A and B are shown apart, each in its own frame.
Chain A
């Protein structure tokens, strides 16, 4: 089993819903993003195309971040999800530099607030209980492993059942993001990658990403 994604670029409108769903899901502090939307353009006027890519940790099959981690904090689960053990992470940043996709960040400012200089909001306060973040360690997308694990335990199917599927996937208003098991040739995600010839971002980095893009 290897969890993965396929993102249909024709559908994606660059609305940032995936970014904010992740923010809400994990109560991410200000300045911390586990996913992003890259906006750009290609071509010369007037033959121009806008480029929109929803990006996050690629949960590579050959993760460079895991290879360089000196403490064993970064590891890969059997289902392919790359995780960071915050108790083992020393914040040395080797992985931040090693990730060719620049998808890792250190949570540095534990006092950062969404309304600087004002009180913490109720949402921020409850976040510190439900999903505490540790200052000084590396953070990244975990494919919403808590949802996947709890969902599987409850007999749900990630990619099919909302409660077992990553937050950025279910929030997408254009249904651009598919999620499922790449090892299952009959999963929705495997099928669409095969049928529409999905390609990972920068295959030349040679890390075998689990996220595919479909033109």
Chain B
């Protein structure tokens, strides 16, 4: 698709460049705008890229569709040009010649040919696949600087290869184990967003939504700005008043990991003092009416095993889905199946009584009076009973929304904290209705002309909400716990989204106890930086240096590639290559509410230079070499067909667990098994399959996206699908004994107390480790100009990071610093109770909790091949512990805050062995 600009350009000589400042009259033979998608972060906003004389000169947001900021773009997107043209990029396959691996080892790269690289990789893959495919660990992170081919590339490759060891970079740290689990359970989606258009009161807990960070940032920036401009109240609980807090109408400082206590105290006041709740929603959309026995489990119908509810009109118990139910009791005591049973709602209402605002104040430092006031504001603003008419449909209007993301749920109480926040929305029915909390579009009825690209949530076991599609295993229905056989060990606790294992300090002990079922012989990692962005680097080093052979796909050098890769394969920059999905269709990043559907394309604006290759095509090349291409083709057919509406959404759990068991008659063959097609050809077929014969790649390349209007029943689907959500977490309690049993062999001990059906508050590990000596909470937060570690290497981003007083500095409350004898510009050391230390320069703030000290982004780079990033900022992750003691037992999120003591120091000690320029 890239024009041979020189030939074509002859006739264009002298034509003025449109939409760009040009001085004088240079010869211009190529002046082209190309529509594609951004690769600056996970958000994948629709963009237009300006190419002049074969060089990309500028990137702007796409004004013509809703998949982004409608013409706007953030700094990360604009600066992508500098990663494209970074002189440090990987251009050829490279082999490590230094046999030693370690954090600071120089790989001593030697250029090799693609054939040499792929032959060696293929030989190793072949051997491993024959022996035990699980010996291959694969993973990475989608996004920054690398394409988003997470499911299409590595997901499919790994699944077909047969390995279950899929390790996501950032697991538990910058990713949201609790939030993905919770968003899946309550919204059939991966993430949640306030319905900015109609919402009047937003409560954000550890979330920057709307301020240019995180997923779906494009439309979030645009819509949240509209909401603020029209006067929406935005309450932000956060230890720091920077990005989220900086745009709050009310910033409320809070101790890290205590958001759950505040949410539960609010629920308590609303239910027990204000007596406000959405009765219709509780009765029909939650498990609130389900009868609970003295064993804290559902009382089930003996014949059908379905949960029972009490029909007060007929005065008897019925199964929850009995068509003749006249009403649901949500209070009272009933004798059913020979036991005394109570509706779950009544028990939940009783349970939260212990979370008084005074209790929450003690944990969180949020004044009890503030909690009471906010509970009252919430109950009033929720307008329970109000309706709104949109497109002729009468819908509940609940203009309040509580949301939480990484910060709020990055603690050992992750699952409960997130669910506590969801409870706030659930009790007033503010879920996927106008004004409330919306999941990323979980309901797509399909493209109007074809009915394909369809995903619909459905009721599954016990009538509970089940996502039509999900990135990981679906949070509902939960699978059975198993004795771990993967190094991630996640099958032990099926409520876990991601796992910090095996890159922990306790993994080897458990693996020994399990009799070391096999050893990881090879790792294939794309994109991410496994030693800088995920957890403590020494713990990571200990794991990765044991792996005999590591292949990295990347565009730029980073600490992991330099220290641990045996072979590096040069990937294409997002502006050099194709991409089909902006992650996992259709819900990832798609705009919410009545914003239109847009399926954007990624396409090359310039040809890949040197020997860079698209990683998906490299994986297919490898599949050819190991005789696996046919199986991959078949898998793609199943994958694409599943969004066609037939294969996965039928509620057939077996098919969800294992695509191989899908009925072949439901699968459309887009790629014949023996075919060897290009990525472009695959995209063409998929576009035509989803959107009709005349909307192939030529059409979409020009248009930039296939767009169509959203139906109100898709946007606000909650009352159009017969599903319920759990306010009583029976399944979590149900899992406890079985997990305990299955954990014995490995010797894994988890905080079993958290496996309770009652959404509760548990003090986070960080608070338990605070002492007189280690007296401050340290935490990291996302800076909106950064994402992962790669943005640190972009010179423009570096310049604006210097312009910002906080980005590269360690921030502390001004009064706290004064008490410690510290002042702005001091070089300080943060030391954890485990003896881990990191250093940086102090910048004091008023907008900072006095008990906290904070570091922005994944800074503090030391890779020699990333000179712009070297020594900038401070690596926070050095301070973290990585083990089950520091992980949420339910969803396995890592504890991402750490107790520290802070003191002056004379040098950057964490650079002692880095071997780079003196800092």
Q: Which residues of A contact B (CB under 8 A)?
A: 8, 10-11, 13-17, 19-21, 23-27, 30-31, 33, 36-37, 39-41, 43-46, 48-50, 52, 114-116, 118-119, 121-123, 125-127, 129-132, 144, 146-147, 150, 162-163, 167, 170-176
Contacts and interface: CB of A to CB of B under 8 A. Distances in A.
A11 B23 CA distance: 33
Given A17-B75, A21-B78, A170-B71, A11 B800 contact: no
B783 to A, nearest CB: 10
Given A15-B211, A175-B222, A123 B57 contact: yes
Contacts of A118: 87-88, 867
Given A171-B72, A176-B225, A19 B803 contact: yes
Contacts, number: 201
B72 A13 contact: no
Interface of B: 16-24, 26, 52-53, 55-61, 63, 69, 71-75, 78-79, 81-82, 85-88, 210-212, 218, 221-222, 224-226, 228-229, 241-243, 245-247, 251-253, 784-785, 795-796, 799-800, 803-806, 813-815, 845-848, 850, 867-868
Contacts of B26: 129-130
10 contacts: A11-B228, A14-B784, A16-B804, A39-B803, A118-B87, A121-B87, A123-B55, A130-B26, A174-B221, A175-B225
B765 to A, nearest CB: 26
Contacts of B225: 8, 10-11, 13, 173-176
B236 to A, nearest CB: 11
Q: Please provide the 9 A-B residue pairs with the shortest distance between their CB atoms, ordered closest to farther.
A: A173-B72, A50-B246, A174-B225, A121-B85, A173-B69, A146-B21, A48-B847, A11-B225, A114-B795
Given A44-B846, A123-B57, A146-B21, A173 B85 contact: no
A133 to B, nearest CB: 9
Contacts of A172: 72
Contact of B85 (A14, A27, A122): A122
Contacts of A23: 78, 796
Contacts of A163: 18-19
B815 A115 contact: no
A190 to B, nearest CB: 18
B741 to A, nearest CB: 48
A126 to B, nearest CB: 4
Given A15-B211, A123-B85, A170-B60, A115 B795 contact: yes
Contact of B82 (A119, A121, A129): A121
A171 B78 contact: yes
Contacts of A36: 803
A131 B23 contact: yes
A115 B60 CA distance: 23
Contacts of B53: 126
A150 B211 CA distance: 33
Contacts of A50: 241-242, 245-247, 847
Given A24-B81, A130-B17, A119 B52 contact: no
A25 B58 contact: yes
Contact of B848 (A45, A123, A126): A45
Contacts of A43: 846
Contacts of B56: 123
B800 A37 contact: yes
Nearest to B814: A45
B22 A15 contact: no
Nearest to A117: B867
B31 to A, nearest CB: 11
A173 B47 CA distance: 12
Given A15-B211, A23-B796, A115 B87 contact: yes
Nearest to A147: B21
Contacts of B24: 132
Contact of B846 (A15, A41, A129, A167): A41
In this complex, which of A40, A119, A171 has the most chain B Cβ atoms within 10 angstroms of its Cβ?
A171
Contact of A20 (B63, B75, B814): B75
Contacts of A49: 241, 251
Contacts of B210: 13
A31 B800 CA distance: 10
Contact of B55 (A115, A122, A173): A122
A15 B74 contact: yes
B815 A132 contact: no
B80 to A, nearest CB: 10
